[in-house]
Chain A
Amino acid sequence: EAGVVQSPRYKIIEKKQPVAFWCNPISGHNTLYWYLQNLGQGPELLIRYENEEAVDDSQLPKDRFSAERLKGVDSTLKIQPAELGDSAVYLCASSDGGASTDTQYFGPGTRLTVL
């Protein structure tokens, strides 16, 4: 079974430029998550989707960050414009349910460097 796929794996951009990350979850998984992982810290949730609906986006900085999951499968996270402090690893995860006991499966992440 294929795991969670993310691209690109690495991205380097100048500040104020836009950037987008793509995620394809495990087939059949209805719940998709985007996390932010700063260096030396644990991941923090940005947004959670149930199918195509964003059910928790309370931690997403909506002035510059946006996300979509139009057909309830793959998802895109966008930053516009990027700031120096956005340098981090962006992780996507999926699960086949929204229960607290469900295992979340993580992709390898996209490492963003903003210069």
Chain B
Amino acid sequence: GDSVTQMEGPVTLSEEAFLTINCTYTATGYPSLFWYVQYPGEGLQLLLKATKADDKGSNKGFEATYRKETTSFHLEKGSVQVSDSAVYFCALIGYSSASKIIFGSGTRLSIRP
């Protein structure tokens, strides 16, 4: 079945460092891909999404490119801030899964001032 694998955390970086959180997926056809973020004490929020190959999703300085050839959707940010500290979830909705989201296990990110 469809699945998402993302790098394990926690990830700790200094402010202004470059961030990459790896995400790969397994799915038939062309799934839609998402990154969700969960700030402490809050619900999941959609960070960005891409719905077809080579699409780039972007929001709040974060970017991720839908790579069909490597089945990846890595999250990047050029300069992280303390306020980016949160748990990040990679997710997909498969072609055949009728809007059922499959989430990765999440990556906790902590940014040091």
Contact = CB atoms under 8 A, between A and B. Distances in A.
A43 B43 contact: no
B9 to A, nearest CB: 10
Interface residues of B, number: 26
A66 interface: no
Contact of A101 (B44, B45, B51): B51
Contact of B95 (A4, A91, A100): A100
A49 to B, nearest CB: 11
Contacts of B31: 100
A44 B94 contact: no
B43 to A, nearest CB: 4
Interface string B24-42: 0000000110001000011
A95 B32 CA distance: 15
Contacts of A108: 41-43
A106 B45 CA distance: 7
Contacts of B51: 100-101
A55 B99 CA distance: 11
A115 B49 CA distance: 39
A44 B1 CA distance: 14
B105 A40 contact: yes
Contact of B99 (A40, A42, A43, A102): A102
Contact of A91 (B4, B44, B104, B105): B44
Interface of A: 3-4, 31, 40-45, 48, 55-56, 91, 93, 95, 98-109
23 contacts: A31-B99, A40-B105, A41-B103, A42-B89, A42-B105, A43-B101, A45-B101, A55-B98, A56-B100, A93-B44, A95-B99, A98-B98, A99-B99, A100-B32, A100-B95, A100-B98, A104-B46, A106-B36, A106-B43, A106-B44, A107-B43, A108-B41, A108-B42
